[in-house]
Structure 1
Amino acid sequence: MNKWLSVFLDKVGLHLLHRKRSVLPQFRNHFDLQSFTAMNRDSFYHVRSVPSLSFELSYHEHYLSGCYKFDSPIHSGDADNENTSGICYLSKRNEEPVHVIMVHGWRSDNLNNFKAIFLKQMLRRNYHVYFPTLPYHFNRTAGGLYSGEYMISANVGRTVTAIRQAVLEIRALIQWLKQHKGGKIILIGISLGGYLSNLISLYEKEIDALVSVMYANDLSFEIWHTPIGRYIKQDLEIHGFTYEKLRQSWSIIRTDEQQPLISKEKILLISGEFDQYIMEKDAKGLWSAWGEPQRLLYPYGHAGIIFNRKQIAKDTLKFIDSIVTEGSSYVDCIYHHTHST
């Protein structure tokens, strides 16, 4: 896919995305920035106790499917957002389990595209697959006009709380799986899910592999300098909130402030060279800050998540299989459609 077509597809996607936007101003800055910035980052993202999960499952020939639920470790103040839930597909083979946690993107209103990339091939490998519902998405919108409206917005403090909530909920799921099921934990995130997965890897040691696709590093940069944040930036500027204030307020949710707890060899970063949603400059900044782990830079835009999903699946599964299979190793390749960085 050439640059012109990649940029065009992303611009069409952004136009469609912005057809739904907040009608009322979201700006709020009623939170204690000093206490947030003074707090130890490890304490900020610490899971105090492993929750109890409940499952509702249906039986199929080779697997079980259904949902899981538990109480969120963070109280957001919005009743619809207080309970954590997710969809799961569990293999009937339990020896040496592999748990794959897939984190969806911002403003997703269903998981169809995400499932289309990976699910079938994961089930063929007898992996257990989990799709957590992020705060303020799907059935957790808490009265928002669209899925994800309240997760990232000009409400500066609520955005920080929602990011923290997502990190703690997925960390709680990981720790429950390790405690009750054992096996390997594979974390895959796309777009916002990639950013969150990267953030989780800074604090969670029970991750055996991380794949982050079309991820951001610094949300304040993306909101201020990319088309995806146009109306949030507008809301902030109208209320006199500057870029420097936003950077300071959201510093605790940056992903390049620390090193991940897993080794570089267990990380695969995937970016789009012509991405109009997530600037390649921001994605490359994280790669550099993390000591240059394995990275694939596709000659696509953000829309490559959909239009090039077969290649994303191929590269991701090749990497994961090498982690799961003892003694194997992933070798960086220069494909005709990608180039490694």
Structure 2
Amino acid sequence: MIDLRSDTVTRPSPGMLQAMLQAETGDDVFREDPTVNELEARCAALFGMEAALFCSSGTQTNQIAIKCHTQPGDEVICEANAHIYLYEAGGISFNSGASVRLLPGDRGRINATQVAAAINPDDVHKAVSRLVCIENTSNRGGGSCYSFEALLAIRAVCDANALGFHLDGARLFNALVARDETPQQYGNLFDSISVCFSKSLGCPVGSVLLGTRPFIAKARRIRKLLGGGMRQAGILAAAGLYALEHHINKLKTDHIHAAVIAGALQHCSFVENILPVETNIIIFETRGISAPDLAARLRKENILCNATGPDSIRFVLHLDITEAMVHQVVKALHSIKKND
């Protein structure tokens, strides 16, 4: 089965499993797990930030960060299709008591002018604008990447208005590879960064939250408050260390595979529109066949994908997808075209 539903479906490679089996462990709540400590220190150093916190998921790191940055009654500014708003179970309101200002974006990306216009005045009738969150790459934007110049402009608006700046970097390494940027550039720019290891980096579990030492100390307390303290978590952290060493250089292959499939889709009669493909995500609109029907037809060809709407399909490439599988997907797409 060729699974294009998400890059979360990857399974640990033999090398990663071996690293997990050999991991030295301790009680992380007591700060005694050496492998967790090593992963946190490695990530902080990689991004040039002071400290890091290992958590169970990107949703957890995002929600902890938002709670650290805000007070109940504050407002978070983000793009209308942001993961923190659409796919984190209403966590901003539930966990932080904050409201959200949604901005229409360009494939999931907002700009400094929009952010500046969205900041509330100092008025007792208004929520206090407190935090700007961006997502890079943007999931609903088809894996789109921000330009670094656009991020610098948003940072300037945040500085001028005393706003925090948080990055949902669920697929940040995809953006770094695609744009030939460095982690240190992002560490210098953001107040906090969430990096997910269980998507393109191929780990079974885990995300890391990055920030200053006081910020991460507060985040550690909130992680405990939310029930997220882990014990012998080095087994999981070892997978993250392995991914940093062995999987980042494989992301470019995922991007190439996505481009190959996108190229094939351009010649399919059932495709209405394809979002520009920058990284490992392909989102396209169908015509003459509903997205659920197309997904069902692909399933008969042993290809799994997600219908993200009545006429929208998403493919996500990842390290478990081989070149031979890509050719099989292309062949299946062409066969559907012939039978249309």
Q: TM-score range by the shorter chain?
A: under 0.3
TM-score of the pair, normalised by structure 1: 0.28
Whose radius of gyration is greater, 1 or 2?
Answer: 2
Higher RCO (C-alpha under 8 Å, 6+ residues apart): 2
TM-score of the pair, normalised by structure 2: 0.28
